Amino acid sequence: MSAPVENTVAEELGSMSLQEQPTDEDWEESDEDELDTFITGEQQIIPAIVSGIRSDDRQARLVATIKIRRLLQKRPPHVGVQPVINSGLVSTVVEMLSSEDTKFRAEAAWIVSNIASGTSEQTATVVDAGAIPKLVAMFPTDVADVQENALWALGNIGGDSTRFRDLVVKAGGVKPALDVLDAPEKYTEKVRNTASWVLTCYLTPRPGAEFALEVTSQMIPILTKFIREPSDISWDTLGYAVKALDQICANEEAAELTIKTGILPRLVELCTKGDADLRYNAIRCVGQFTAGTEASTDAAVEAGFLEALKACIGHHLVMIRENACWAASNVAAGSLPQVEALLNAGLLPILVAIVRDKHEVQKPRNEATWALANLVNMALVHPELIEALIEDRCIEAFSDAIVSQHFNTQRLAVQSLQKLLGRGSGCQDRALELFKGADGIARLRAVRDGRNTRGSEVGKTAHEILKDHYPDFVRRARV
């Protein structure tokens, strides 16, 4: 008598009792070499696994499911995902999301999340198979693996495209993540981390497809409460939550709602606290307010943002220095009281030092040059500021920026010099002498006559400065 099909399948997959189900640690060493044998030359999953995952025998089905999960976990999407699709296993796995067995639900959600980490076409296979409503229906659950894996799958699907994001939102896929952040003490750190990350996936900026305010307005009170939590939330998890809030606050109406929660002092605190990613996201988030309305910039200044920027501009990481200079340039483009607050905070000499540092990389230097250029524009309307700009060596900074290899930095410097040197104030003679002493004339001539700038807007502006203020040096050198 031949053995039942289920037993044959289990033997073909490898004998394993339910008590001997492999842990992740067991598989790390045992299955690495075996993984490539799971895929045929025709880019399909081998028949033994396909039969196993469709078997009525729980042991055989579980072993096969784990093998698929480990294949997708250990191999990049372009290697592992397509064979699973080619073998017609997507619908089988998606149906498993509704299993009464939590082990199968967790494994299936993990597989779906990995398929959805591939191309949009591959993600579409799980969407078309009905994964979204089944993933949402897995909540609420007390099983941490199910929580984490289902959230991860929703995040990958919702983060793929506007269409899939909207399908997730329509199906109620935002609520599971918000429920976790609303009561973080009920969940493990891994689940909290995944929930925070999921929101950043949903909120990924897409041209012409902003998240509706009616949705983000539900997120704001929960996110701000979560960010305030003094509990054992990791910096990484907090960083995702702050990033999500940053993405939300790109919308001015959402930014206003966020300000009303009183979260700004906490965000400012996080600009100088925690790991680099958290600091970066906090600077970006508060920076959104300085890029908004005058009232939102006032709120950031009043929350102590300028003091935090002083420390951030001196940070060893480029991305933090760059964004701190960007935020400072936003304040410098604001109202007179905001500019005065920036000057009183002692930010001007710090920005000048960034521009003058020949070892500084280009991005922070360009943002700092923008900040100085914005201050010059304010000084044109309020001449009493000119002396402060000269005292803190803005003239010398612009002279150094003229020789930048970055065209925008060079353009800003030349245009700002034309404005600053052309002011008929009591400081003009001093400014002209300072610029001359900073080798500014030779640098202007180099810009005017340069191979890439001669005849350009910046080259013509350099010529005008020489003609108006240094006529003895306006003639081109003979070569």
Query: Using H for helix, E for strand and C for coil, what is the string for 260-323?
Result: HCCCHHHHHHHCCCCCHHHHHHHHHHHHHHHCCCHHHHHHHHHCCHHHHHHHHHCCCCHHHHHH
Percentages (nearest 5) of helix, strand, coil residues in the chain: 70, 0, 30
Cβ neighbours of residue 383 closer than 8 Å, sequence gap 6 or more: 423, 425
In this model, does residue 3 exceed pLDDT 60? no
Res. 100 pLDDT band, cuts 50 70 90: very high
**If DSSP codes are grouped into helix, strand and coil, which group holds residue 415?**
helix
Quick: pLDDT tens for 389-412. 999 999 999 999 998 888 899 999
Quick: pLDDT tens for 186-195. 999 999 999 9
Token output for 335: 């109202």
In this model, does residue 50 exceed pLDDT 90? yes
pLDDT of residue 424: 58
In this model, does residue 97 exceed pLDDT 70? yes
Mean pLDDT of 179-192: 95
Res. 452 pLDDT band, cuts 50 70 90: confident
Mean pLDDT of 9-23: 39
In this model, does residue 4 exceed pLDDT 70? no
In this model, does residue 40 exceed pLDDT 70? yes
Mean pLDDT of 112-122: 95
Residue 64: half-sphere exposure toward Cβ, Cα within 13 Å = 29
Instruction: Report the C-alpha gap between 327 and 362 in whole angstroms.
Output: 16
Instruction: Report the C-alpha gap between 90 and 75 in whole angstroms.
Output: 17
pLDDT of residue 31: 60
In this model, does residue 101 exceed pLDDT 50? yes
In this model, does residue 18 exceed pLDDT 80? no
The CB density around residue 146, as the number of other CB atoms within 10 Å, is 23
CB 155 within 8 A of CB 148: no
Instruction: Report the C-alpha gap between 54 and 72 in whole angstroms.
Output: 18
pLDDT of residue 436: 92
CB 328 within 8 A of CB 371: yes
CB 116 within 8 A of CB 123: yes
CB 351 within 8 A of CB 312: no
Q: Could you tell me which residues are beta bridge partners of residue 45?
A: 39
Cα radius of gyration rounded to whole Å, the chain: 30
Q: Which residue has the tokens 């300072």?
A: 434
Percent share of the chain, pLDDT over 70: 91
Quick: pLDDT tens for 119-174. 999 999 999 999 999 999 999 999 999 999 999 999 999 999 999 999 999 999 99
Token output for 96: 């498993």
CB 81 within 8 A of CB 114: yes
In this model, does residue 25 exceed pLDDT 90? no
